[in-house]
Amino acid sequence: MEFSTQTTASLHQIKTSALAVGVYADGLLSPAAELVDRAANAALRAVVKAEFRARPGSVLVLRNLPGVSAQRVVLVGLGKREEYSARVHAAAEQAFAAACVSAQLTEAVSTLAALDIPDTPLRARARTAAIAAGSATYHYDATFGKPDRDARPKLRKIVQVVERADTAQAQQGLREGAAIARGMELTRTLGNLPGNICTPTYLGDTAKKLAREFKSIKVEVLDRKQIEALGMGSFLSVARGSDEAPRFIVLRHPGTGAGTGAAAKKAKGEAAKTAAGPVVLVGKGITFDSGGISIKPAATMDEMKYDMCGAASVLGTFRALAELELPFEVVGLIAACENMPSGKANKPGDVVTSMSGQTIEILNTDAEGRLVLCDALTYAERFKPSAVIDIATLTGACVVALGGVNTGLFSKDDALADALLAAGRQSLDTAWRLPLDDAYQEQLKSNFADIANIGGPQAGAVTAACFLSRFTKAYPWAHLDIAGTAWKGGKDKGATGRPVPLLTQYLLDRA
């Protein structure tokens, strides 16, 4: 998908297959709609009055409007003027792109981002527009025998009309949004791919492919032997139950000197100021979670192919930050394996030794995410990070607590937590902070090891975070539980690409 800007005062003369203009509830036209209406001799106003209620995200397609060059004018509902928000704007952009997709159009022009909205800078609106259009045009067809060519979106290009003075702001926002959208696309496709294709090896190969595409990214993919040499006894205990080979993936995006763009050059000075150590992103990469010996029920078990969405979000975020030539160092760590029952699998009661030296009693083999993450978190220490953020589809309890609306955020570092919450709000990819009090640590006591891997039925999302906290003493740390937000079940089953917008926005805000 390609995004660009165009400046013009004469909207009605733009030649395009579809021109989007916003309409508020109660017949209130946006400035762009007013312009088109004037050219069309008040024909637009008449239609709105008769049959368009402008509910947020609704569309009405008008063809061959007199006096207007665009083949279609798409009226996009913006709801009540006084209730307008970034979320309404995103819904409008998404609805417009979806309408273009269903009409099989290849290009379109939108005025929606440049509408006069108080309190929302154009750069943010342009970013939102690009993310929304990218989401609307996502299409999965990797595993169909005969991909449906007609179902594949043909929409390749959306031009945003802006005032001449706004062009740079809009272009920067579109550039950021497009990078985020492409990162999300990668994350979604990796999530949607079945477990027999998207294996740990496949994730490693995807990381290598990213490094070929973006020269700034350096990748190392460690195999079972190398993981053994590191002493990752906890991670390996999970991997051992499966015939599929595990992978530990290390991605690096260097601070300065990478790329030749303006961002990289500008960074030289700033990096010296903030040379504090990289941000490390750690992803849970369970390419299929059967539960192991503590096996899961059969219903919806297929959805456990999504248990690598944390890893996929690290790869998607790397794609975005490399494209944007982010001016500081970011490290990505992915612990990837399957969780399967077998003669070699972990058994309830087994005690394993983590890379940190702490021993763990495995009371439930289905609490495997924390077992692979704890060793990745210990590995992260070597980078002397300024912040470590792990991303994991960690607990069903988090889905119970927050549903599919908010990602669960855990951190003892208020500044880091606030920055992540703000990035979530800004990118419409929100998180909600949950507690991490020491009092919950009690639940992880074991009679046979330093720590148990489950904390009982109460506060399951919190005790999972508490478990991870035991391995994160060396740096500021936050944990994102994306079990409810990384994918949707039911008839719209599919990966969402979250939290790539939150993570990329957080990194952009740091830069």
The footprint of ligand BES (CB under 6 A) covers 289, 307, 364, 366-369, 393-397, 399, 454, 460, 483
Binding to Zn ion by residue 289, rule CB under 5 A?
yes
Window of 129-137, 299-307, 355-363, 454-462 that interacts with Zn ion by CB under 5 A: 299-307
Q: How far is residue 285's CA from residue 288's CA, in Å, rounded to a whole number?
A: 9
Q: Which residues pair with 218 in a beta bridge?
A: 252
Our CB check for Mn ion shows the closer of 183 and 291 to be 291
404 is written with which tokens?
A: 């599919």
Q: In what order do the strands lie in the sheet with 157-161?
A: 2-6, 157-161, 107-110, 19-23, 72-77, 59-63
Cα-only R_g, the chain: 24
Least distance (Å) between residue 365 CB and Mn ion: 8
- Active-site option among 252, 370, 470, 498: 370
Residue with Cβ nearer Mn ion (377 or 419): 377
* 445 annotated ligand binder: no
Interface stretch with Zn ion, choices 57-65, 174-182, 255-263, 364-372 (CB under 5 A): 364-372
DSSP 27: G
Nearer to Zn ion, 159 or 459 (CB): 459
What span, in angstroms and rounded, lies between the C-alpha atoms of 430 and 408? 9
Of the candidate residues 77, 177, 241, 369, the single one contacting Zn ion (CB under 5 A):
369
Q: Kindly tell me the burial class for residue 95, based on how many C-beta atoms sit within 10 Å of its own C-beta (0-12, 13-18, 19 or more).
A: buried
Q: Please pick, from the candidates 176, 185, 307, 325, the single residue that binds Zn ion as defined by CB under 5 A.
A: 307
Which one from 175, 296, 412, 488 is the annotated catalytic residue?
296
364 binds, among Mn ion, Zn ion, ligand BES, none (CB under 5 to 8 A by kind): ligand BES
**Residue whose CB is less far from Zn ion, 169 or 453:** 453
Instruction: Pick the closer one to Mn ion by CB: 296 or 425.
Output: 296
d(CA 337, CA 288): 8
The yes-or-no answer on residue 296 being catalytic is yes
Beta strand 477-481 pairing with 407-411: antiparallel
Residue 289 annotated as binding? yes
444 three-state secondary structure = helix
Minimum separation from the CB atom of position 31 to ligand BES (A): 45
- By CB under 5 A, tell whether 390 contacts Zn ion: no
Question: Least distance in Å: CB of 103 to Zn ion?
Answer: 41
Consult the annotation and say whether 307 binds a ligand: yes
Q: Which residue's Cβ has the minimum distance to Zn ion?
A: 289
Distances from the Cα of 127 to the Cα of 28, 114, 161, 375, 504, angstroms = 25, 12, 14, 36, 12
User: Which residue ranges make up the site for Mn ion (CB under 5 A)?
Assistant: 289, 366, 368
176 touches Zn ion by CB under 5 A: no
> Is 396 or 494 the residue whose CB approaches ligand BES more closely?
396
The answer to whether the annotation marks 93 as part of a ligand binding site is: no
By CB under 5 A, how many residues form the interface with Zn ion?
Answer: 4
Residue nearest to Mn ion (CB): 366
Q: Residue 481, exposed/middle/buried by CB under 10 A (0-12, 13-18, 19+)?
A: buried
Whether residue 450 is annotated as binding a ligand: the answer is no
Among Zn ion, Mn ion, ligand BES, none, the one that 395 touches (CB under a kind-dependent 5 to 8 A) is: ligand BES
Scored b (16 or more CB within 10 A) or e, 485-495 reads: bbbeeeeeebb
| Shortest Å distance, C-beta 504 to Zn ion | 24
Least CB distance to ligand BES at residue 444 (A): 11
Supply the minimum distance, in Å, between the C-beta of residue 206 and ligand BES: 20
Entry field: residues in the chain:
511
The per-residue DSSP string of 146-187 comes to S--TTTS----EEEEE--GGGHHHHHHHHHHHHHHHHHHHHH
Report DSSP letters for 211-240, one per residue.
HHH-TT-EEEEE-HHHHHHTT-HHHHHHHT
Which residues touch 320 (CB under 8 Å, ≥6 apart)? 179, 180, 182, 183, 500, 504
Q: Is-catalytic flag, 473?
A: no
Structural contact between residues 252 and 329, judged by C-beta atoms closer than 8 angstroms? yes
Work out what residue 169 binds among Zn ion, ligand BES, Mn ion, none; the CB cut-off runs from 5 to 8 Å by kind.
none
Cα–Cα distance list, 47 to 42, 72, 216 (Å): 9, 14, 52
Q: Nearest distance from residue 205's CB to ligand BES, in Å?
A: 23
Residue closer to Zn ion by CB (options 135, 393) is 393
Known binding-site residues for Mn(2+) equal 284, 289, 307, 366, 368
Q: Which residues are catalytic?
A: 296, 370
- Note the residues at the interface with Zn ion (CB under 5 A): 286, 289, 307, 369
Known binding-site residues equal 284, 289, 307, 366, 368
